[in-house]
């Protein structure tokens, strides 16, 4: 049996994972990132995952920030749980520039995304989580290799920025297996691929 390949991403109502200001423009996302619905969603997405897959930029950002939360007693326990998981889990980081990983339990790869994920699927372990890295999610969607999508949809239209779902993807069907709506109008959605 192959491992489940999952991915998570936060999107604005118009399907964008960043705003018109570029990769750092998360103005339609940030106000909803620390709600109860978002934190419960975050817990749900990693609880069965034993491998985190990240692009280099996300790895640098996540692994620069989240480990500082582990011992912060003022932090939400769900945030501390995610931080501990991220540090402890095996990580695969896609990079064309790094020559050695500055993080423990990390393997760097510079190879086609679909090939790496297919190889990971054949190994033992829990779910493989592509952790908020659109540069990895997009080729997996194009190759129809994702089994589950964890999406947070925020009730804002960005009006610009990068879309997750580009034209030309293969036609696929998905089932909503979980949904929550937060007080601010954010939606936590889990979609499973129907095969």
Please determine, for residue 87, whether its predicted confidence score (pLDDT) is greater than 90: yes
What confidence score (pLDDT) does residue 112 get?
97
Q: CATH number, domain at 80?
A: 3.40.430.10
Segment 68-74 shows an average pLDDT of 94
What confidence score (pLDDT) does residue 85 get?
97
What is the rounded CA–CA span in Å between residue 95 and residue 91?
12
What confidence score (pLDDT) does residue 53 get?
98
Residue 107's contacts (CB-CB under 8 Å, 6 or more residues apart) are 90, 91, 92, 93, 101
What are 149-190's pLDDT values in tens digits?
A: 999 999 999 999 999 999 999 999 999 999 999 999 999 999
Domain containing 9 equals 5-194
What confidence score (pLDDT) does residue 8 get?
98
The separation between CA 32 and the C-alpha centre of its own chain, rounded to angstroms, equals 16
Please determine, for residue 192, whether its predicted confidence score (pLDDT) is greater than 80: yes
Please determine, for residue 124, whether its predicted confidence score (pLDDT) is greater than 90: yes
Please determine, for residue 24, whether its predicted confidence score (pLDDT) is greater than 80: yes
The separation between CA 182 and the C-alpha centre of its own chain, rounded to angstroms, equals 19
Percentage of residues in the chain having pLDDT higher than 90:
93
What confidence score (pLDDT) does residue 2 get?
83
**Structural domain tally of the chain?**
1
What are 126-152's pLDDT values in tens digits?
A: 999 999 999 999 999 999 999 999 999
Please determine, for residue 1, whether its predicted confidence score (pLDDT) is greater than 80: no
What is the rounded CA–CA span in Å between residue 125 and residue 142?
24
What confidence score (pLDDT) does residue 128 get?
98
């Amino acid at each position: 049996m192959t491992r489940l390949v999952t991915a998570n991403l936060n999107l604005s109502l118009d399907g964008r994972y960043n705003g018109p200001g570029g990769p750092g423009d998360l103005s339609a996302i940030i106000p909803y990132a620390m709600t109860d619905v978002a934190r419960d969603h975050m817990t749900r997405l990693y609880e069965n995952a034993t491998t985190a897959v990240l692009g280099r930029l996300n790895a640098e950002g996540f692994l620069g920030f989240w480990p500082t939360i582990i011992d912060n007693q003022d932090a939400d326990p769900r945030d501390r749980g995610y931080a501990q998981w991220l540090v402890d889990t095996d990580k695969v980081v896609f990079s064309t520039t790094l020559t050695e990983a500055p993080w423990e339990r990390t393997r760097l790869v510079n190879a086609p995304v679909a090939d790496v994920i297919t190889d990971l699927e054949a190994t033992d372990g829990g779910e493989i989580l592509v952790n908020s890295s659109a540069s990895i999610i997009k080729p997996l969607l194009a190759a129809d290799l994702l089994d589950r999508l964890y999406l947070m949809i925020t009730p804002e239209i960005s009006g610009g920025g990068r879309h997750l779902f580009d034209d030309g993807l293969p036609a696929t069907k998905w089932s909503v297996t979980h949904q929550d709506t937060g007080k601010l109008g954010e939606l936590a959605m889990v979609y499973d691929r129907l095969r």
